[in-house]
Structure 1
Amino acid sequence: MELNALSAISPIDGRYRGQVQHLDEYFSEYALMKYRVLVEIEYLLFLGEKKIVKLPAKVKAHLRKVAEEFDFAAAQQIKDIEKITNHDVKAVEYFLKARLDEVEAGEVKEWIHFGLTSQDINNTSIPLSWKNAVEHEYLPALLNLQHKLHDFANDWKHVPMLARTHGQPASPTRLGKEFMVFVERLEGQVELFTHIPFAAKFGGATGNFNAHHVAFPKRNWIDFGNEFVNNILGLHRMQFTTQIEHYDNMAAHFDAMKRINNILIDLCRDIWTYISMDYFKQQTKKGEVGSSAMPHKVNPIDFENAEGNLGIANALLEHLAAKLPVSRLQRDLTDSTVLRNLGVPFSHIIIAIKAIEKGLGKLLLNEKKLHSDLEDNWAVVAEAIQTILRRENYPKPYEALKELTRGKAHIDKKAIHSFITTLKVSGEVKKELKAITPQNYLGVVGEF
């Protein structure tokens, strides 16, 4: 079968293709070739800038055009060359040499890939594509979601809600504050994530600029490499490497993404539970079906879908973070095939974020249910009463409230007020205690 949405093995290229097809600009085989071509061209232009090779203006312009106009036809030419070379980076080199022939720049051809090994290209082009994907796709999607959660928090900042610790009724909280918990968690982890540099390796066959140095021993190749990688490519050059990049920073990115995914999983499970408790209704769409057997159902499928995709992403990120920093001696090839899967967990995360946003868009607050749950659980003000009694030096207040409330089938307002009436405290304190309700025993939270 031809590859299409129905025949694709991976749901990323099948069922969910429409949601993530734009990511092929960063993670496809085409994208890898595009970024390799870009790095090779930028390197040659930098050699010219440093007057190591003389590049006529027409050659520079042509090289820029090759990079800017790189398309699928160009990628196919590289693949055709690779069938002969059986080496993907060498195929890029030969492709560019052929493009230089178009402007009769034969004297420049051998400066393409001068002194480099394939990993100088891979370990700059892949981090560059990863950086662009993170900055243009991942962080904006995550921050947009965070802003949506912040909007919900503001909308519901004054809505009282029964809290549940260990699944049991607990001291009331505010619905908006519970959403702010996730806003703050995401904010903290994004801050940590953005402090991790996008590292790159650039230093010749085994990281020592051997070929560069033997050709031009008086040139400071370390400064050259630092300036090229840091200033031209916008990456962070590692100073001491083997043939390949350490991948420690990339692993740190993966670990940070896993933590963020876990926060989102926690969010999905909480909202799923609130829906099951009827704190939220969900908007319906004409023609949609919630269950093949039960017509009444409106399932929280968006949050379930997100949770599943985040779990898949975490499993893959775990392997990437554990495998990539480990390589035999100066280099083995295991990183190559693994790196080609960077787009898989990334895509699952984007799919998950879109699902969460879709689910959030369906939520309808059911304040009546939140209110009734609070009214049905007057026992939660026991904490407030015993704390005030402690302030008043009342003997064993915790034990008194425990005897009244723990394990009892139902404690209502009448039972609480009857208990307060029997207390040997001043009338003023009794009035203070009777003013406490599940709806107003909410404490204080910071501004948001």
Structure 2
Amino acid sequence: MTSIPLSSLTAVSPIDGRYSSKTESLRNVFSEYGLIRYRVTVEVRWLQYLSQHPAIGEVAPFSAVANSLLDQLVDDFTLEQALRIKEIERTTNHDVKAVEYLIKETIADNAELSAVSEFVHFACTSEDINNLSHALMLKEGRDNIVLPALQEIQQNLAAMGRDHANAAMLARTHGQTASPTTVGKEMANVAYRLERQMKQIAAVPMLGKINGAVGNYNAHLSAYPEIDWQAVAQEFIEQLGLDYNPYTTQIEPHDYMAELFDGLARSNTILIDYARDIWGYISLGYFKQKTIAGEVGSSTMPHKVNPIDFENAEGNMGIANALYGHLAAKLPISRWQRDLTDSTVLRNMGVGLGYSMIAYASLTKGMSKLQLNESKLSADLDNSWEVLAEPIQTVMRRYGIEEPYEKLKALTRGNVMDQATIQTFIDTLDMPEDAKTALKAMTPASYTGNAADQAQNI
């Protein structure tokens, strides 16, 4: 079969194909280029750190010119330089070693840096570089890409909660009519749940280690036994903006990653729940969807305006959660002091995030097209006077009327209720007239408790 060039049309994954415009922000972070870029960053910053350590006399503090060259390599790292690393890797068959060699090539013409080139990757195992790179990737992806996308959704939900705080809606439990709520309160429920998960995601510490081949600073201490390498590691890692993990094997054990992916999965689960509910409300007619000129709902039924954005979001978050589940279950497990099974799995961190970002874009688009159908909401409430059985029997309990629940059950269960039937029943009750008057003034649309207040306060 003839080979065809890679493009959004020929990509195997829809992340880089059909939905590439929705995942573009991830490329600079979670692509092979992104991983290489972070590896270069860690290697360079480690070399610069060593030059500042007073006990490492063989590496004098770098001049401004030398530091500028190194900073430029980090700050202006190019795709061409990443390709050069891949070219070197074809010879070394080792991706991290190829990074080391690229750095040495870059500094070869600077006498000051060339003289200490063997301190590039000093005392490091590849996983020292990799784990810090992965932590930096996840930190940038979480803080600058994923959380802002979730924040937009959460803010939209909260705004819908306030905007529709007073829009009474018939609730359904077990699919059956239940005590009314408001549309805004149902939106506020989701907004609050999502905000809580976002806080937990943001609070996950991004851990790192730089303690050598099995986590004991063996190589470090063999060269400089007088240095407190644990203190060095902690200071360096914290300078990178990460949190220090003092106890590891060759690999950072990835427990924090499991915490992060579990948190992301819980956020997605909340949003899947929301997408399914909105799908149902659209089906009931509680929401209409704004039509867009030129769009087609069905290839054969011209009238249809399908809730495709919510369906797309649900499907893609399901895929993301399947990946998050594997990442969270697999990554903390490694044979003895290290096996390589985490390596290939870690290259898929961006895949789960990619499907999430596709879903978030669809969800945001779908939410922007929603229009409340107040007439349908009112009609459903007007046809559901049986929901007032709850307040009536509750007030009956207050005034000592026997078997209130049973009497309302006999009146309403399986029977068609209307306002006249309910009010006739109230008239038969032995309770104060003001209590009867209050009950008779109640309608399904007014029986919403403090739903409006809760929605306004989100």
Mapped to 2, the partners of 1:108 and 1:58 lie a distance apart of: 15
**C-alpha root-mean-square deviation of aligned residues, in Å?**
1.0
Whether the aligned pair in 2 keeps the contact of 1:115 and 1:212 (CA below 8 Å) is yes
Match of 2:66 among 59, 63, 67: 59
Identity percentage of aligned residues: 50
Query: Which residue of structure 2 lines up, in the alignment, with residue 82 of structure 1?
Result: 89
Higher mean displacement: 200-209 or 267-276: 200-209
The match for 2:146 is: 138
Preserved contact between residue 25 and residue 145 of structure 2 (Cα < 8 Å): no
Unaligned runs of 5+ in 2: none
Residue 247 of structure 1: how far off its partner (Å): 0.3
Q: Does 1:324 align with 2:351?
A: no
- Aligned twin of 2:15: 12
Check the 8 A contact 2:30/2:350 in 1, yes or no.
yes
Alignment of 1:161 onto 2:164: no
Within the candidate set 392, 414, 423, 2:420 is matched to: 414
Match for 1:278 among 285, 307, 315? 285
Q: Does 2:409 align with 1:402? A: yes
The equivalences for 1:296-445 within 5 A come to 296-408=303-415, 410-445=416-451
Kept after mapping to 2: 8 A contact 1:283/1:363: yes
Instruction: Specify the alignment match of 2:80 in structure 1.
Output: 73
Q: Which of 158, 182, 196 is the equivalent residue of 1:188?
A: 196
Q: How does 1:242-253 map to 2 (within 5 A)?
A: 242-253=249-260
TM superposition shift of 1:50? 1.2
Residues 61-110 of structure 1 show CA distances to partners (whole Å, capped at 9, x for unaligned) of 11111111111100011011000000000000011011111223321110
What amino acid is the match of 1:162?
Answer: L
Q: Distance in 1 between matches of 2:51 and 2:410?
A: 85
TM-score relative to the length of structure 2: 0.96
The equivalent position to 1:40 in structure 2, one of 43, 57, 81, is 43
Runs of at least 5 residues in structure 1 that lack an aligned partner in the other structure: none
Report the alpha carbon displacement of residue 427 of structure 1 after superposing the two structures with TM. 2.9
User: Counterparts of 1:325 and 1:356 in 2: how far apart (Å)?
Assistant: 32
Instruction: Give matches, 1:161-180, under 5 Å.
Output: 161-180=169-188
- Is the contact made by 2:282 and 2:288 (CA closer than 8 Å) also made in structure 1? yes
Q: Is the 8 A contact 1:158 1:174 kept in 2?
A: yes
Question: Aligned equivalents of 2:135 and 2:98: distance in 1?
Answer: 20
Query: Which residue does the alignment assign to 1:292?
Result: 299
Contact 2:143 2:202 in 1 (8 A): no
Residue 248 of structure 2: aligned partner: 241
| Cα deviation 1:162-213 (Å, max 9, x = unaligned) | 0000000000111101100001101111122222100112101111111111
CA 434–100 in structure 1, closer or farther in 2 if over 3 Å, else same: same
Whether the aligned pair in 2 keeps the contact of 1:202 and 1:237 (CA below 8 Å) is no
Cα deviation per residue 1:33-59 (whole Å; 9 max; x = unaligned)? 100000000000000111321133322
Instruction: Give 1:393 shift.
Output: 0.7
What CA distance in whole angstroms lies between the structure 1 residues aligned with 2:428 and 2:67?
Answer: 92
8 A contact 2:149–2:360 mirrored in 1: yes
CA distance in 1, matches of 2:390, 2:22: 49
Cα distance in 2 for partners of 1:357, 1:13 equals: 20
Structure 2 equivalent of residue 124 of structure 1: 132
Work out whether residues 209 and 233 of structure 2, in 8 Å CA contact, stay in contact via their aligned partners in 1.
no
The TM-score normalised by the length of structure 1 is 0.98
Hey, what's the Cα distance between the residues in 1 that align with 2:148 and 2:393? 48
Structure 1 residue 221 displacement after superposition: 0.6
Query: 2:214 maps to which residue?
Result: 206
Question: CA shift at 1:430, angstroms?
Answer: 2.1
Q: 1: CA distance between counterparts of 2:218 and 2:174?
A: 62
My pick for the range that moved more, 302-311 or 100-109, is 100-109
Distance 1:277 1:260 in 2: 26
Deviations along 1:296-315, whole A, 9 cap, x unmatched?
Answer: 10000000000000000000
Partner of 1:215: 223
SS in 2 for 1:183: helix
Structure 1 Cα separation of the partners of residues 145 and 370 of structure 2: 25
* Bigger Cα displacement from structure 2, 52-61 vs 202-211: 52-61
